[in-house]
Structure 1
């Protein structure tokens, strides 16, 4: 993201989907410690973590903001075609070119991690597994809870922009109504509670200013401002997002602790300081309001988020002899 932080604009992360244009059940289940087998890559997860630490502490590849970027990248991959690293492919009309992915970053960092793994274990660790490991480590490196990641994913062959535009959730969505969040997540096999838990990923990162235009510039009120937003928060938003339509300028999704993975996101919703329509909607709807209150407790949220991430990571994965292990995450093997 621009400003050295993550632009994590859309409701984060997801799980098993039954979409007509996508593949069905995978050939084999994922396994914890999949790469520990001697003929695989025993140090794979350690290599991902150490490389990521170096990138986060360095000056390149977005530094401190990289964890939120990679967390978002894993979500955007799994939501479209399942967790098969299709979002990484550089092909004509790829997912990268879709509107919802306009500010998607982290590709260079994935390249660096992949390069280190190829040095240690050529042709063994998939790009899809790299995304899953990096997302887990990103949570842990910013103060969240680590968790075991079942692995064995293989990489897909296709990436289609229209699918990203169709299946990624909209930052303007409400809990119910047209293009609502509940249906969007249900299409991925996720419950309403999963949606609220995974939305907690917005505790880190930033979002492009234009996504808040409908709340502070074009809301159907006399001054164009949503009257439900506290004045001090409106002032902060307008100071940074000074005019409508700013796509390169960003604002913290969590104005209090934007680089720390915690429960502040939910506390912000309680005081009406959720940045996006899709964020604040979770506390406006009675059925999700109770869940927001539930996950303000850190231990409860951390445990639920870890489980939801594992669940998300199983979306229509390719395993066994399906797909391939890409040598370069940006291109299908020749």
Structure 2
């Protein structure tokens, strides 16, 4: 089968506008479809992308199956969203056979529409700035000597929407994690929280988050003849 080569120019919107015009639409609609049935898919993809990029760059090596692979290491065992990648990849292959498309970068950019940040937490410690009236709620979710594998939403205001509610919670002393609440109590970070919730200056969280994701997504990206584009994301060609 002939393969259509696409000269790499890094990551940018519309890169496949000629070789596969519907590529970005296919990926986005696939992510949105999975999100409607399971909102936790989006943060799962973002977390997977983060884990992939910080080990030898954004090369989708996290997707490879087999013993002694990145996927089988301790920090990556709880990653999720592989089924979304497989679904999107199969649809891309059907729509644009033979076109090399590094899928994970597109999935990561599409998954930022809505998400709930989930994190494991153990222990019963509390920052003094946390609202005393709020403390019974996180303590009930994460009792001392409780189940350390339980997942707890960090945004109690709008868990299934991508917005700045998380930062408003910090101002009101409703941070789930002590490390999160310190973003409000520490003078070096409080300014950013205030700007995200509109108290001082103007700093749109969605825009800034997008910028940070784009910056991370370009970490040691394979270009030109570097690396390979896999027909099956979980197997080396």
TM bracket, shorter-chain basis: 0.7 to 0.9
User: 1:124 touches 1:325 (CA, 8 Å); kept in 2?
Assistant: no
- Partner residue in 2 for 1:205: 117
SS of 1:114's equivalent? Answer: helix
Within 2, Cα distance between the matches of 1:122 and 1:36?
Answer: 15
Q: Show structure 1 runs of 5+ residues with no match.
A: 1-26, 143-202, 220-224
TM-score when scaled to structure 1?
0.62
Contact 1:73–1:131 (Cα < 8 Å) also in 2:
no
Aligned pair partner of 1:258 in 159, 173, 182: 159
In the other structure, the counterpart of 1:33 is: 14
Partner of 1:50: 29
Give the one of 185, 207, 222 matched to 1:318.
222
How far is the alpha carbon of 1:299 from its aligned partner? 6.2
Aligned counterparts of 2:11 and 2:32: Cα–Cα separation in 1: 25
Deviates more, 1:44-53 or 1:230-239: 230-239
On the 8 A contact 1:208/1:246 being kept in 2, the answer is no
- Provide, for residues 50-86 of structure 1, a one-character-per-residue CA deviation record: whole Å limited to 9, x for no partner: 222222223xxxx122112112222222222211111
Task: Give the whole-Å Cα distance in 1 for the aligned partners of 2:146 and 2:75.
Answer: 15
Unaligned runs of 5+ in 2: 1-7
Partner Cα distance (2:208, 2:232) in 1: 33
Whether 1:80 and 2:55 are equivalent positions in the alignment is: yes
Change (3 A) 1:57 1:125: farther
Higher RCO (CA 8 Å, separation ≥ 6 residues): 1
Identify the residue that residue 66 of structure 1 maps to in structure 2.
Answer: 41
What is the distance in 2 between the residues matched to 1:91 and 1:296?
45
TM-score norm. by structure 2 comes to 0.84
Aligned partners of 2:39 and 2:116 also within 8 Å: no
- What is the distance in 1 between the residues matched to 2:22 and 2:9? 23
Superposition pairs for residues 227-306 of structure 1, below 5 Å? 227-244=128-145, 246-297=147-198, 300-306=204-210
* Contact 1:44–1:125 (Cα < 8 Å) also in 2: no
TM-superposed CA distance for 1:317, in Å, is 0.3
Please tell me whether Structure 1 or Structure 2 has the larger radius of gyration of its CA atoms: 2
CA change 1:283–1:299 in 2 (3 A) is closer
Query: Residue 256 of structure 1 aligns to a residue in which SS?
Result: coil
SS at match of 2:45: helix
Q: 1:266 to 1:103 in 2, by over 3 A?
A: same
